[in-house]
Amino acid sequence: MKKKEKMIIEAGMKLFASKGYNTTSVQEIADECHMSKGAFYLYFKSKEALLISILHYYYDKVFTRIHEVQTEGGTPKEAYWKQLTVYYDNILQQKDFIKMQLSDRALPLNEETQQLAKQIRLATIQLHIDNIKQVYGDAAIPYMADLCLTIEGMSHVYFELAILYDFQLEAEELAATMIHRIDDLMGGMMKRNDHPLISVDQASDWFGPIYERSFDPLTESLLKELRELAEAHYEVKDEPDLFEALGILENELNKQKPRQVIVKGMLYQLKLYTPLQPVSDSLLRILKEDHL
């Protein structure tokens, strides 16, 4: 992402949160960035396009940070708590922006926003699924969907209180509470040998494949970051091999069963470019953990 593009996104978030989407003008966003209105349109074709880019930016930022804490070590339950804390903290930090969306009904209902909403929902469910598998093992498999939907439902009520009624909520405490509730749910369902209300297959039909997925949101976020770094530092005409390797990597990782030799080969090729090295190393580490 280009520096000025990021500046406009952050200025837009600030003004939308404080003034509201409908009452904030493109000129005000441009003034906040110390640029002309015409310069704004070089990066975004409209205020609506900026709002959608803000949501993409927020999504990528959250799951990139979740990946960072995912690799910090600790027990599976500690890792889950850290990831939930990051996820919840990002929501609470953007309370004003979320309240603006609810009150202004700013987000257009089109195919792009519906796809983004589905992507975020699926990534969140997958976050729970991956961690529940790590904490409870195969015993949790029949109850995956019920656990995820129950936890999401409970946390949404707490966020509604925090956003609409200024209830003082701490991300660390909420994350700990949710993990305790999962312990309670798992213990009770296993003790009674409950039949799950919703199966994983049913949830997958509604939300997308949520159990065995070859391409997760953290990988997707890092891959997008690689593309942005490449475009920020290099031109296609000057470094055609770089962009060819990046394109091959993107295509391969979008396949149901990516080929290990191609993925690793392209990542090692990208590591030759200094600005891309840290993200390439992160991707290699994730793929190794996932036994790709």
pLDDT digits (tens, 9 = 90+) for 192-220: 999 999 988 888 788 776 654 444 667 77
- Do 17 and 60 lie in one domain? The reply is no
Give dist(CA 178, CA 131) in Å, integer. 13
pLDDT at 292 over 60: no
- Do 196 and 77 lie in one domain? The reply is yes
pLDDT band at residue 175 under the 50/70/90 scheme: very high
pLDDT at 51 over 60: yes
- Do 201 and 275 lie in one domain? The reply is no
- Which alpha helices (DSSP H) does 105-170 contain, by range? 111-136, 144-165
From residue 213, how far is each of 122, 148, 219, 255, 290 by CA, in Å? 11, 16, 11, 11, 10
- Do 65 and 188 lie in one domain? The reply is yes
Residue 212 falls inside a structural domain: no
Structure-token match 């509470």, residue found: 177
Lowest mean pLDDT among 9-13, 182-186, 259-263: 259-263
From residue 103, how far is each of 11, 47, 99, 162 by CA, in Å? 20, 17, 6, 15
- Do 2 and 79 lie in one domain? The reply is no
Looking at every residue in the chain, the average pLDDT score rounds to: 87
Q: What is the CATH number of the domain that holds 29?
A: 1.10.10.60
61 vs 72, which has greater pLDDT? 61
Q: What is the CATH number of the domain that holds 101?
A: 1.10.357.10
Domain residue limits at 265: 217-289
The mean pLDDT value for 38-63 works out to 90
pLDDT of residue 1: 66
pLDDT of residue 173: 97
pLDDT at 273 over 70: yes
The percentage of the chain sitting over the pLDDT mark of 90, rounded to a whole number, equals 48
The mean pLDDT value for 10-20 works out to 91
pLDDT of residue 36: 95
- Do 134 and 163 lie in one domain? The reply is yes
pLDDT at 38 over 90: yes
Structure-token match 């200094």, residue found: 274
- Do 35 and 60 lie in one domain? The reply is no
pLDDT of residue 122: 82
Tell me how many domains the chain contains. Answer: 3
| pTM above threshold 0.85 | no
Give dist(CA 97, CA 64) in Å, integer. 20
Residue 101 falls inside a structural domain: yes
pLDDT at 238 over 80: yes
pLDDT of residue 70: 77
Residue 23 falls inside a structural domain: yes
- Do 199 and 246 lie in one domain? The reply is no
Domain final residue, candidates 180, 207, 234:
207
